Amino acid sequence: MSKANQIQAPKGVSEYLPPQSRKFESVRHALLEPAKSAGYELIELPVFEDTELFTRGVGESTDVVSKEMYTFEDRGGRSITLRPEGTAGVMRAVIEHGLDRGQLPVKLYYSGPFFRAERPQAGRYRQFYQVGIEAIGIQDAALDAEVIAIADAGFKSIGLKKYRLEITSLGDSASRAKHRVELVKFIEKLNLDEATRTRASINPLRLFDDKRDEIKDQMASAPLLLDFLSAESLKDFEDVQKHLKALKIDYIINPRMVRGLDYYTGTTFEFVHELLGAQSGIGGGGRYDGLMAQLGGQELSGIGFGLGIDRCVLAADAEGISFDQEFTSDLFIIPLGDESKSRALTVAQELQNAGFRVEISFGDRALKGSMKAADKSNAEYVLVLGDSEISSGTVELKQMSTGKTSSVTLTSLKDYLRSVSGK
């Protein structure tokens, strides 16, 4: 086929092919394990949802909703959107299936692809991968600290060191209302274009997140929400910090942090990697008090995070972390002739079921080609299975690293491999 005929992946998507996909798998595993250890359970949700879930849940002032959603009409004329994040979908499912009527908090973890039509660059993709957790139904600073600790444990287990944790509090609704009055007054006096004013009228906090110098300069003296926290919100924020200290998790307070999604209240946090340049957020999350009610459920608070698997892979590379990712097979079987193929399949099946990684040389290759394939797959042992081996029931097992051969009967192969591999 000519090159012009070939189809390429859509612009800006991340893909993981072997051998790099092993790194992806290791990173995802490292990020998921701490959540499982803390009693979170898997929730697997559709990658597309009713568009209204995100406009209502994530918020219309956000870039995610206003500019970055992959929205289309399905064949039934419904407006569908590829999920740009996971929290709204989890909340939809919790409400729809009444999970909040059982034991609280409802503790769920998920991982999978998410979609945002952003301008692609290193670490920013249109399809990317997250590991996330949500703990719904209990308002407790200790839970906030545990959620942060779970993310931190994931990063540590990858081996990451050069990252920092930034936290702040968006307070309760009374704190935000008080701050909003002052912030709106402050913003009224600024020199802003129409679009920015409109954004600010939906959520004035957005202006703290504006990357343009002229806005940043004007916002330098803006009133900060942290200075408006009610006594209760302040106590809560101090408790979170006390627990983080007990857990020996370092953090800095960033009172200007604005998360890209509108549902946050109370504790919010971001993990920032120091070697990743512009797209340095490797994970973030926080509390969301009003989201459940906003989506038609009861008034329950929740907290969670989303960790970027793609960015963690990049961060691991940037820190020179190598994974134990040599692909090795325990045994490579080379069948000679048609009869021996069936036998090779059954021998491999038995050994695979016993936990060994076993490969077969397929496709009637000459012995030399098969030996090369065995070498490439880094197999520990190789055996040739021809008519004479089948009739005698004995094979020559060759250890690839030493070239040593041993005669082993087919019936004792499993025990032999067990004794030499310790599996």
Residues in the site for ligand HAM, rule: CB under 6 A?
85-87, 116, 118, 123-125, 128, 130, 132, 134, 260-261, 281-286, 304-306, 308, 310-311
E-only strand ranges, 27-105: 41-42, 48-50, 71-73, 79-82
Neighbouring CB atoms inside 10 A of 250's CB total 9
If the CB atoms of residues 295 and 348 are measured against ligand HAM, the closer one turns out to be 295
User: 123, 111, 86, 113: which is closest to 12 by C-alpha?
Assistant: 123
Q: How far is the CB of 12 from ligand HAM (least distance, A)?
A: 8
The owner of tokens 């050994």 is 351
When CB distances to ligand HAM are compared, the closest residue is 308
CA distance 198 to 66: 12
CB of 3 to ligand HAM, least distance (A): 29
Smallest separation, CB 263 to ligand HAM (Å): 8
Supply the DSSP symbol for 418: H
Please give the Cα distance from 303 to 333 (Å, whole number).
Answer: 51
Distance separating alpha carbons of residues 267 and 145, to the nearest angstrom: 9
Quote the least distance from Cβ 43 to ligand HAM, whole Å: 12
Nearest C-alpha neighbor of 136 from the set 170, 173, 107, 98? 107
- Rounded CA-CA distance 267/169 in Å is 4
The residue (of 131 and 249) whose beta carbon lies closer to ligand HAM is: 131
137: left (phi over 0), alpha (psi -120 to 50) or beta: left
Please state, in angstroms and rounded to a whole number, the distance separating the CA atoms of residues 177 and 333.
70
Query: CB of residue 279 vs ligand HAM: minimum separation in angstroms?
Result: 7
Q: Which is nearer to ligand HAM, 137 or 285 (CB)?
A: 285
Tokens read off for 114: 């998410």
CB of 176 to ligand HAM, least distance (A): 17
Q: How far apart are CA 88 and CA 43, in angstroms?
A: 13
Q: Which is nearer to ligand HAM, 125 or 332 (CB)?
A: 125
Shortest spacing between CB 106 and ligand HAM, in angstroms: 13
Residue number with CB closer to ligand HAM (116 or 398): 116
Nearer to ligand HAM, 57 or 204 (CB): 57
Rank residues 82 and 348 by Cβ distance to ligand HAM and give the closer one: 82
